[in-house]
């Protein structure tokens, strides 16, 4: 029988009533003839509660025990979902990560999936099981310890299972009914997209859109897994939600498909650093070692052997960045006159695969922001993305203006 993967997030399984609701959705797909692999998250709020228990018990916790505790929320949901399906006379069984087993690296709390053997679950399908309810977010290390994949890791679990089992599709059920041209809470004109290319979704996810975890989109693109994002509270139909697919399946490529934003960005500038070969490595090496997620980078024109280096990072990583750069200066690896941190900035990005073949996107974006009196602090581009850093107080205005300028409300 064909295999379908269905993933349900925490809000979708937050209560027993909601678990019963999504179990009925699973039952509909079973009735269509699918063998279904259901990936479940912990019930809404449960993981945060477990993380709180760990921090209160041991602020400098052992990462292996952290994973043992925080992974337990998914086990509860998987068992309850399997029991609910059994009450509906649907042959179902729950599976924890170690039972599959989902083999991962040993990087606790940030493990990566290496292999998902299909033999155990396929054997149960052959015996008459119709639904395998798998605890998302977790796996098994080479040392035989439980690991977790990082927050949002159940999305990655779902895509990895779809790739391993050659699933017809991977449906990601959330509390939103698809992928929008921007956040509807910021722009009331935001429109739900019927389809979006993998590359566009990857950019949007990495730039602040919270619909899908970035790693899950990377996996889907690598293995060409069709993803569908839809609401567990809306209607159940074959054309509901947004399909994330290969670019070739999209008839017409608009120059811009969506406007993404990240509210909590900081602009950091090293004033008067030496303009010499290796200076960039000397700056960004320590930042990488400190786990600082650097995004936009700009180097000013050098004068008399000195230059300024500016980069952006999340605001909650500013202290870490300052510490890493100050220590590098103390060690004599770099020298600068001043380190300036502006923590009142936001990142706005226009994303679209149509940029490859259509000109004028950057000009329209910059003109639109200029007309609104919004100053651009930093610019970064890729083949299908233009990102700018602006004052945070103008973020919502910028999103709305760009959404209007590129007429994203029109189908």
For the annotated binding site, the residues are 7-10, 47, 74, 174-175, 180, 185, 210-211
Three-state secondary structure call for residue 114:
strand
CB 248 within 8 A of CB 190: no
Three-state secondary structure call for residue 303:
strand
Residue 151's nearest CA partner among 46, 282, 260 is 46
Instruction: Indicate the annotated binding residues for ATP.
Output: 7-10, 174-175, 180, 185, 210-211
Instruction: Indicate the annotated binding residues for substrate.
Output: 47, 74
Q: Are strands 195-197 and 242-245 parallel, antiparallel or unpaired?
A: parallel
248 CB-side CA count, 13 A? 3
Q: How far is CA 280 from CA 86, 270, 273, 288, 298, in A?
A: 59, 11, 10, 12, 11
Q: Are strands 169-174 and 131-135 parallel, antiparallel or unpaired?
A: unpaired
Three-state secondary structure call for residue 263:
strand
C-alpha triplet 296, 297, 299: angle, nearest 5°: 155
Q: Please, is 35 exposed, middle or buried when counting C-beta atoms within 10 Å of its C-beta (0-12, 13-18, 19+)?
A: buried
Tell me the C-alpha distance between 114 and 134, whole Å.
17
- Dihedral angle computed from the Cα positions of residues 241, 245, 247 and 253, in that order, rounded to the nearest 10 degrees: 0
CB 234 within 8 A of CB 295: no
**Which DSSP state fits 392?**
G
CB 280 within 8 A of CB 309: yes
């Amino acid at each position: 029988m064909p295999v379908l993967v269905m993933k349900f997030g925490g809000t979708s399984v937050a209560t027993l009533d909601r678990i019963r609701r999504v179990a009925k959705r699973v039952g509909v797909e079973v009735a269509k003839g699918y063998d279904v692999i259901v990936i479940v998250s912990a019930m809404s709020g449960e993981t945060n509660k477990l993380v709180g228990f760990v921090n209160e018990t041991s602020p400098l916790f052992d990462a292996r025990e952290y994973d043992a505790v925080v992974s337990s929320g998914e086990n509860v949901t998987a068992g309850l979902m399997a029991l609910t399906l059994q009450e509906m006379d649907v042959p179902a069984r729950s599976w924890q990560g170690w039972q599959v087993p989902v083999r991962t690296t040993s990087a606790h709390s940030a493990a990566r999936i290496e292999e998902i053997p299909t033999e155990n679950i396929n054997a149960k399908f052959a015996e008459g099981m119709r639904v395998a309810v798998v605890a998302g977010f977790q796996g098994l290390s080479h040392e035989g310890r439980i690991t977790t994949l990082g927050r949002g890791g159940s999305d990655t679990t779902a895509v990895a299972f779809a790739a391993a089992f050659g699933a017809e599709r991977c449906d990601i059920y959330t509390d939103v009914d698809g992928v929008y041209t921007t956040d509807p809470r910021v722009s009331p004109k935001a429109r739900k997209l019927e389809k979006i290319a993998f590359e566009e979704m990857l950019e949007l996810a990495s730039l602040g859109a919270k619909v899908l975890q970035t790693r899950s989109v990377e996996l889907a693109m690598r293995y060409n897994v069709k993803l569908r994002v839809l609401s567990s509270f809306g209607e159940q139909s074959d054309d509901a939600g947004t399909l994330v697919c290969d670019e070739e399946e999209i008839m017409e490529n608009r120059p811009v498909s969506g406007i993404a934003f990240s509210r909590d960005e900081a602009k950091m500038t090293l004033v008067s650093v030496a303009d010499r070969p290796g200076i960039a490595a000397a700056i960004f090496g320590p930042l990488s070692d400190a786990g600082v997620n650097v995004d936009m980078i700009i180097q000013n024109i050098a004068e008399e052997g000195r230059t300024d280096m500016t980069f952006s990072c999340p605001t909650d990583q500013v202290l870490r960045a300052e510490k890493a750069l100050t220590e590098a200066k103390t060690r004599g690896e770099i020298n600068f006159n001043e380190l300036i941190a502006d923590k009142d900035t936001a990142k706005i990005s226009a994303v679209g695969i149509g940029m490859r073949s259509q000109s004028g996107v950057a000009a329209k974006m910059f003109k639109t922001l200029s007309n609104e009196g919004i100053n651009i602090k930093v610019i970064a581009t890729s083949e299908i993305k233009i990102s700018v850093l602006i004052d945070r107080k103008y973020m919502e205005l910028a999103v709305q203006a760009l959404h209007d300028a590129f007429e994203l409300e029109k189908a």
